[in-house]
Each structure stands twice: as C-alpha cells, then as structure tokens.
C-alpha cells in the first residue's frame, strides 16, 4: 500500500490509470476494447495492428504476414523498444515466406535490434543469413562489419568492408569501419608483439633466477603439494610457474642488478603471535643488521620491553624431522639458506625469534629437539 504524501494523499503509481479517466484509458488497451476502430494506424497502435493480423492469419499469405510483422518491428525500433522489435521480426521470419528479399530485410532489421541490445553474436548471425539470401545487401554487410568490430574480429571486419566496397566504393560507413578496424588490428598486433617480448624477457629472468638458486645449493620446496618435493638436486626440472610466493605482500625472490638474490623473509614471534615481514632481504646481509633496525624502537606489543636485538635468539624449524636449529645473528641470509637442513617453502624463508632464557622459550623448546650453536 502506498504511503500518504505530505498532503495526506497517496502518491500515484508511475504509469497508473487516472482515477477520473480510467475507463477511457482501459478502453484503449486492445484486450479490453468493446469495439474495434474502423481503421487501425499501425504506427500509433502497433499492438492492435498485431492483434488484428493474428485474427486474420488464415486470410493472409505468409508474405503479407511477414511484412506486417516487419512493419510492427520497425515501429518498435523507432520507439527504441528493441526487445519487442526482435520479437516482431522473429515472428515475421517464422511465417516462412518465400520472398528472399523480404526475409533478408527481416534478418537485417533483427540484426540491428540485437546490436542495440548488445547481442553482437546474434546480430552477426542474422547479418550472415541476410547475405545468404541477398549477397549484395549493403545494410547486412554494414551490420556484419560493425558486429565483427564490436567482437574484436578486426580481420573479419575489414574483409566484410572490402566486399561491401566492391558493391559501392563510396559507402561512407564501410570506409569508416574499415579504417577503424585496420587501426585497431595494427594496435592489437603491436600489443601482441610487446607481450611476446615481455614474456620472453620474464622467461629469461625466471631461468636466471632458478640458475642462481641452484648454483647456491639452496633447497626449495614447492607448495601447495600433497607431498613435499625437495628440490636440492631437482631445480633444473622445476616448473618456472611453480616457484611462487604465498606471503601477504606478494613479494618474490629476485636478482638485483649485481646478480645478488633478494628474498622476502618472515620473522615470527610465537610468544606474542606477531610477525615482521621484510620484502627484500639481501642475501649477503646479516640477521643482526635487520634486528637492529626492527627493534630500534620497542614494538607496541612488547609491554615488558624484552625484545632488544641483543636479547633475541633466532631459529628455523626442520618440519620433516620436527627439529629446531639455532641461527647465528651474525650470519648472512645466504649462510642460513645454505644450511643442509634449511628448506625454503612457498618462496619465503622464515625464522622464529624468542627472548633468551624466557619462561616461554623454555616451555616452547621443552618438547622439541634443538640444535644450538
């Protein structure tokens, strides 16, 4: 139920009948007419013209009925009601009249309506059917060329334009479409060449990266996988698309201009369930150098002020053996990665940090085998 307006009256529904003239408005709808007008203007009353044509189908030839539906569709098209226009042209085609020119016009007109609805493939199919019926039908050729252009079939669009221009070399629309399609085709080919060059460049970079990792004898585990695959001796067989990083920042290991590896590295602080992430940890940089920067100021979660660079112990975990290995903070990242039991997972090296001799670390390591320096 409509809500009352400021003046207490309910607002009228859009398109509703006027309460004073509703009977006359109802009478104008074909379904409710008490008497049919002596003469029907198809331009102003397409629905009534259609209803009348349906009542006398048996008295009209297929060609007459097809023409009636074509005219009805044209009226809907002029009113920009393209959906109804498609329906009317379709009904006209169903009458199976034997006039190829009329059928070609119905297909061409339906193609135009479908194109306005964004149904370019359906529109193209209609243009193709129209050309089969009438190969020299320029409107069908123009519509087909436009559809190919919208579908980014630039070569086909040019071909259709060339065929149409053989019929009429001065057809302005075909000249315009051909020029546009040619320009877009050249741009597409240029972009494809650039993409291929970039793909080759990225391939070379990946190969160089994998060669550098293999040369350093760094062991990599590919994830996700049902079974961990140690890659210490199998980097040559590693899929170039398989080496990736699952860190939240999307950072990946890369070679810098000097040929050095820079890794994304994750620091875990189990006691506080906190993390630090370094997007590019140079392989020749020491861990202590990063700790000095990260803990130059105490983090907000360190309420007891225990996390000082000299008070921390670093470890990595050998998950396969459930063992912990202590990391010397004076060592570089490369030295740690080359450890015989270190495996890089998901492209991101990980280390765990604990406060030395803290109750938490004692409890944490009580159930683990630890290899200390």
For residue 269, is it within any domain?
yes
For residue 52, is it within any domain?
no
For residue 64, is it within any domain?
yes
Determine the Cα–Cα distance for residues 179 and 185; give it in Å rounded to an integer.
10
For residue 195, is it within any domain?
no
For residue 99, is it within any domain?
yes
Write down how long the chain is.
Answer: 373
| CA nearest neighbour of 72 among 56, 58, 92 | 92
Asked if the model's pLDDT at residue 243 lies above 90, the reply is no
| Total tally of structural domains belonging to the chain | 2
Whole-model pTM above 0.85?
A: no
Residues 178 and 241 in one domain: no
324, β-bridge pairs: 317, 370
Q: Is the peptide bond preceding residue 224 cis, with omega within 30 degrees of 0?
A: yes
pLDDT number for residue 21: 75
Cα angle vertex 170, ends 169, 174, to 5°?
85
Q: What is the DSSP letter of 37?
A: -
Mean pLDDT within 88-109: 95
Residues 178 and 248 in one domain: no
Determine the Cα–Cα distance for residues 215 and 220; give it in Å rounded to an integer.
13
Residue 123: which domain range? 60-185
Determine the Cα–Cα distance for residues 284 and 267; give it in Å rounded to an integer.
17
Mean pLDDT within 223-240: 41
> Rounded to an integer, what is the distance from CA 240 to the centroid of its chain?
24
Among residues 185, 212, 227, the one where a domain terminates is 185
Determine the Cα–Cα distance for residues 52 and 40; give it in Å rounded to an integer.
9
Residues 239 and 367 in one domain: yes
Asked if the model's pLDDT at residue 212 lies above 60, the reply is yes
CATH number at residue 315: 3.10.20.90
SS3 content of the chain, % helix, strand, coil (to 5): 50, 15, 40
Tokens coding 143: 């519509």
pLDDT number for residue 250: 76
Determine the Cα–Cα distance for residues 112 and 146; give it in Å rounded to an integer.
10
Give residue-wise pLDDT tens across range 256-267.
999 999 999 999
For residue 298, is it within any domain?
yes
């Amino acid at each position: 139920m409509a809500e009352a307006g400021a003046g207490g009256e309910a607002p009228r529904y859009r398109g509703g009948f006027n309460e004073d003239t509703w009977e006359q408005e109802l009478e104008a709808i074909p379904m409710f007419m008490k008497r049919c007008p002596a003469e029907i203007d198809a331009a102003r009353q397409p629905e009534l013209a259609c209803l009348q044509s349906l009542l006398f189908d048996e008295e009209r030839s297929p060609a007459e009925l097809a023409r009636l539906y074509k005219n009805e569709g044209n009226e809907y098209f002029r009113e920009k009601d393209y959906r109804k226009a498609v329906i009317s042209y379709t009904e006209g085609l169903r009458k199976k009249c034997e006039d190829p020119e009329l059928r070609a016009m119905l297909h061409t007109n339906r193609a135009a309506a479908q194109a306005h609805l964004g149904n370019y493939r359906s529109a193209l199919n209609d243009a193709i059917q129209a050309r089969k019926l009438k190969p020299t039908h320029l409107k069908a050729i123009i519509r087909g060329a436009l559809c190919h252009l919208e579908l980014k079939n630039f070569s086909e669009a040019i071909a259709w334009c060339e065929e149409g221009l053989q019929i009429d070399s001065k057809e302005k629309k075909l000249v315009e479409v051909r020029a546009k399609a040619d320009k877009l085709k050249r741009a597409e080919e240029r972009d494809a060449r650039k993409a291929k060059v970039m793909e080759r460049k990225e391939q070379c970079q990946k190969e160089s990266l994998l060669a550098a990792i293999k040369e350093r004898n760094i062991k990599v585990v590919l994830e996700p996988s049902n079974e961990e695959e140690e890659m210490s001796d199998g980097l040559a067989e590693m899929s170039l698309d398989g080496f990736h990083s699952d860190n939240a920042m999307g950072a990946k290991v890369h070679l810098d201009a000097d040929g050095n590896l820079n890794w994304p590295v994750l620091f875990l602080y189990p006691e506080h369930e906190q993390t630090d992430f370094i997007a590019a940890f140079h392989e020749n940089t020491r861990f202590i150098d990063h700790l000095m920067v990260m803990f130059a100021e105490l983090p907000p979660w360190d309420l007891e002020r225990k996390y000082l660079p000299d008070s921390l112990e670093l470890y990595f975990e050998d998950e396969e053996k459930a063992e912990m290995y202590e990391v010397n903070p004076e060592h570089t990242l490369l030295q740690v990665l080359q450890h015989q039991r270190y495996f890089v997972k998901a492209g991101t090296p990980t280390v765990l940090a604990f406060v030395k001799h803290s109750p938490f670390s004692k409890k944490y390591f009580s159930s683990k085998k630890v290899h200390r320096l």
